[in-house]
A = this chain, B = another copy of it.
Amino acid sequence: MTTTTEKRAPQAMNGVDTPTLLATINAVGAQPELARFTFRATNKWQLGTHSRTEIRGFYGAGGEQEHASTFALDGDHPAVLTGKDEGPTPVEVLLHGLAACLTAGIGNIASARGVKLDSVESTVEGEIDLRGILGLSDEVRNGYEGVRIHFRIAGDAPAEKLQAIVEQSRSRSAVYDVLTNGVPVDVTVEAV
């Protein structure tokens, strides 16, 4: 027996292939052009406020890639806004994106730090004054005034270490960055 802490090779855990993940990060570090990704989606109006998005191909890791399947996502307005409620509202979709991004990061970071997760649950909410989008006020913004996300996380590590994993995920989250800092969006139109 020994009391020294051994530096062990990372193990696969939490469903994360940690050795391959770390090898991927090293490969990208050595060849930065592999890090350039372009994600894409196509959307078709269905009826009323209902549309459907399909997501399949993307560019990254030096070439064209495809998801294992085509993801189809609906969006609509709820009945109280005279929609048909065929899917979540687009602003609810943003809440999903935020929670899914932070949680994916938690899965990866916990594994890299050797922490076995038992559960990660979050509730996320955003407040919005619809007078903006309804054109009733020019002083009210169109989007959320604020968004809050609360995590409950359990695993085989002290509370401070679990909290630090969430904080590290936040500090490296693509969606958190986009939502808090914004991104230029270019809209073009072809009337056919």
Contacts and interface: CB of A to CB of B under 8 A. Distances in A.
Q: Is the interface of A mostly helix, strand, loop or mixed?
A: mixed
A68 B85 contact: yes
Contacts of A90: 96-98, 100-101, 104, 174-175
A76 to B, nearest CB: 7
B134 A103 contact: no
A41 B100 CA distance: 11
Contact of A28 (B53, B134, B173): B134
A171 to B, nearest CB: 8
Interface in A1-41: 14-17, 20-21, 24-25, 28-29, 32, 35-41
Interface of A: 14-17, 20-21, 24-25, 28-29, 32, 35-51, 53, 55, 58, 60-61, 65, 67-69, 71, 73-85, 87-108, 117, 119-137, 140-154, 158-160, 162-163, 166-167, 170, 172-192
A37 to B, nearest CB: 5
Contact of A152 (B82, B119, B167, B190): B190
Contact of A173 (B37, B48, B103, B133): B133
Most B Cβ at <10 Å: residue of A29, A93, A101, A149: A93
Contacts of A189: 150-151, 153, 162-163, 166-167
